[in-house]
Amino acid sequence: MARCWPLELGFTSGEGGVRYPERMNADASPFSDGPPAPGFYAVRLSGPGAVLAPMAGYSDAPMRQLAAEQGALWTVSEMISARGLVLGGDTEKLNLGRPYAGEQGRVVQLFGAEPELLAAAVARAEAWFVPAAIDLNMGCPVPKIRGKGGACLLQTPEVAFTLIEAMRAATALDVSAKIRLGWDTDRSVEVAQGLAAAGASLITVHGRTSRQRYTGEADWDAIARVAASVDVPVVGSGDILDVETARQRQQASGVAAVMIGRGSVGNPWIFRALAGGNLEADPRPSAQARAWTALRHAQLQTQFYNDDTGRLTLRPLRKVLPKYLPDYPELHAELTQVVTVADVGRVLAPLLDSVPQGGAVQTGAMSSVSTEYAGSYS
């Protein structure tokens, strides 16, 4: 069985090029004028809404931008390896951490199992990416990161507690953790209490064990027990696919907010509904507005990754685009084959009044859907 305690836990500062760096001035980053004040989570949780989950291959900058525009309380980056960030030759241009222009309210999630490396990674992430807060991944169940952090830390929670302490010592930002119920049995209350004692400002709980991965149903009763057992905010996660379920789970469990992953793919409007008290079961706008948003997602993707050819940048989006239009299955096959933004515009043309040249979204070309589309991003 893979274990999560670090093989190099006792190495001294500086060995292998790792040091506890002094927290770098945020002015070193080209993306922001300065870091947000501590207490980010408390401020954001003072209002209604939901959180965009970290999802490898999904919650990149374009998706985060769409979720933020629709009122997500905050968004979380795809997880970033602390070891890779410190020792792997990464730069501030790393796409996993790099914000889109003007991005705010984004939490950077790190994974790792060595206090020194995580402390160094926190300082580097803060300087390069100017996050609103830092999150420790203790929930990823994929085999390739076993022994390197993720859900494997649930086997040795005492190691995770030292990681949170080291991360807190490296930054003035809020530090949080995202956990599962346990490795193969429910130890979530024990783990959450230890994380809170170590200084975590917030804990997100996914209602499955690592062994379950994504099978079965999320156990929201277990999440409720965690929420009642600690004095820091708890965010609940698991099987939130619609507005009604989000409200029911939050009210019944007593969590401060819910985190939404799969339910937000192709449906950023779910955040707007939860932030604004919309009681509609399905907050999605018309097919035209959804088609324009899918087209805009493709344009944001191309702009962020700076690839006009789309041959690499739109490939990851092929699995997302059909989610915008589940009621138009006849378009799905072609949407999973697009290469350029123009291809996306061509496939979606039946739902658009007009397709701007090159497939780019232009306000003047929105015709009858302009008011609805523009209103979605006000």
What residues are annotated to the active site? 140
Q: What are phi and psi of 199, to 5 degrees?
A: 120, 10
Contacts (Cβ under 8 Å, ≥6 apart) of 82: 110, 111, 112, 114, 117, 118, 120, 121, 149
- R_g of the chain computed on alpha carbons: 21
As a whole number of angstroms, the distance between CA 46 and CA 261 comes to 22
Q: What is the DSSP letter of 103?
A: -
Select from 259, 251, 104, 241 the least CA-distant residue to 176. 259
Q: What stretches of 45-180 show up as alpha helix (H) in DSSP?
A: 61-69, 82-87, 115-129, 157-169
Tokens of 186: 């429910």
User: Is the Cβ–Cβ distance between 59 and 76 less than 8 Å?
Assistant: yes
Output the 3-class SS for 16-68: HHCCCCCCCCHHHCCCCCCCCCCCHHHHHCCCCCCEECCCCCCCCHHHHHHHH
Q: Output DSSP code: residue 133.
A: E
Distance CA 18, CA 12 (A): 9
DSSP annotation of 75 reads E
CA dist 180 and 153 (Å) reads 10
The Cα–Cα gap between 205 and 220 comes to: 9
Give the Å distances, CA to CA, from 85 to 54, 97, 146, 207, 297: 18, 10, 18, 29, 27
SS3 216: coil
